[in-house]
A and B are shown apart, each in its own frame.
Chain A
Amino acid sequence: MINSEVKKNKIDSIIRACGILLRMNKARPDARKSERLYYQMLSNYFTRLLNARDEGKFVAAHTVFFPTEILYAMDIVPMHTETTTWMISLFTGECDDILSAGKELGLASEICTPHRGLAGAFASGVLPRPDVMLWSNLICDNTAKSGELLMEINHCPGFFLDHPFQHSEDEMQYLVGELDDMIHFLEEQSGQKMDWDRLAETVALIDRQIELFREICDLRKATPSPFHSQGFLELLTIDYLFPGQPEAIDYLETLRQELAEKVSVGQGAVSDERFRLMSFFIPPMYLMGFLERISQEFGAVSVTEPFFTYWGEGRLDPGRPLESVAEKSYMIPEMRMYGPLDDRALKSIVGCAEQYKIDGAVYYADIGCRHSCAMVKLFKDILNDIDVPVLTLDCDVVDPTITSEEEMREKLERFFELLEER
Chain B
Amino acid sequence: MFDRFREVNSTFPRTVQILEHKRQGKLVFGWLCTYVPEEIIHAAGALPIRITGHREETELEDGSAYLHVNNCSFSRSCLQMGLRGEYDFLDGVVGGSTCDGARRLFDLWRHYVKTPFHHVLTIPRKYTPEAHALYYHQVVRFKEHLEQFLGIQLTDEKLHQSIDTFNKARALLKSLYELRKSDNPKITGAETMEVLNASFHMPKELFNEYLKDLLHDLSGSVNTHKGQARLMVTGSVLTNPELIKCIEDQGALVVTDELCTSTRYWSDPVVLDGEVTLLQAISRRYLNNFPCARMFPSDERFNRILGLARDFRVDGVISQIIRYCVPYAHDLPLLTERLKAQGIPTLALDVEYGTSGSGQIQTRVQAFLEMLEAKKR
Residues on A lying within 8 angstroms of B by beta carbon are 106, 108, 110-111, 137, 140-142, 144-146, 148-149, 160, 162, 164-166, 168, 170-171, 173-174, 177-178, 181, 339-342, 346, 365, 367-368, 370-371, 373-378
Contacts and interface: CB of A to CB of B under 8 A. Distances in A.
B125 A166 contact: no
Given A166-B120, A170-B133, A340-B120, A110 B323 contact: yes
B175 to A, nearest CB: 35
B71 A370 contact: yes
Contacts of B130: 174, 177-178
Interface string B131-172: 101100110010000000000000000000000000000000
Nearest to B336: A106
B104 A371 contact: yes
Contact of A374 (B71, B122, B296): B71
A144 B125 contact: yes
B333 interface: yes
B326 A141 contact: yes
Given A148-B334, A170-B137, A370-B100, A160 B296 contact: yes
Contact of B71 (A160, A164, A174, A373): A373
A273 B294 CA distance: 47
Given A341-B110, A373-B70, A377-B66, 5 more contacts: A141-B326, A141-B330, A142-B326, A145-B294, A377-B108
Given A111-B326, A164-B134, A140 B122 contact: no
Interface in B327-345: 327, 329-331, 333-334
Interface residues of B, number: 45
A324 to B, nearest CB: 19
A374 B97 contact: no
A367 B71 CA distance: 10
Contacts of A171: 122, 134
A110 B326 contact: yes
B377 interface: no
A359 B108 CA distance: 25
Contact of A371 (B103, B125, B323, B329): B103
Interface string B82-111: 000000000000000101110110111011
A341 B329 contact: no
Given A110-B324, A111-B326, A170-B137, A340 B124 contact: no
6 contacts: A141-B294, A141-B330, A145-B330, A149-B333, A160-B126, A171-B122
Nearest to A163: B125
A162 B106 contact: no
Q: Return the 8 tightest CB-CB contacts between A and B, nearest first.
A: A165-B97, A145-B330, A373-B68, A170-B137, A374-B104, A341-B107, A141-B326, A165-B122
B97 A166 contact: yes
Contacts of A376: 68
Given A170-B138, A174-B131, A145 B327 contact: yes
Contacts of A106: 333
A340 B71 contact: no
Contacts of A181: 128
B122 A166 contact: yes
Given A166-B122, A170-B133, A178-B130, A141 B99 contact: yes
A137 B67 contact: no
A151 to B, nearest CB: 10
Contacts of B99: 141
A409 to B, nearest CB: 24
B133 A160 contact: no
B307 interface: no
Given A140-B100, A145-B331, A376-B68, A370 B324 contact: yes
Contacts of A148: 296-298, 334
B120 to A, nearest CB: 6
A178 to B, nearest CB: 7
Contacts of A375: 104, 107
Given A110-B323, A166-B120, A370-B324, A339 B103 contact: yes
Contacts of A370: 68, 70-71, 100-101, 104, 324, 326
B67 A374 contact: yes
Contacts of A111: 326, 329-330
A260 to B, nearest CB: 38
Interface in B243-262: none
Contacts of A373: 67-68, 70-71
Interface in B187-224: none
B294 A144 contact: yes
B65 interface: yes
Given A370-B71, A373-B68, A162 B296 contact: yes
A296 to B, nearest CB: 31
A162 B125 contact: yes
A373 B138 CA distance: 29
Nearest to B68: A373
Contacts of B66: 374, 377-378
A164 B122 contact: yes
Contacts of B134: 164, 170-171, 173-174
Contact of A378 (B108, B133, B334): B108
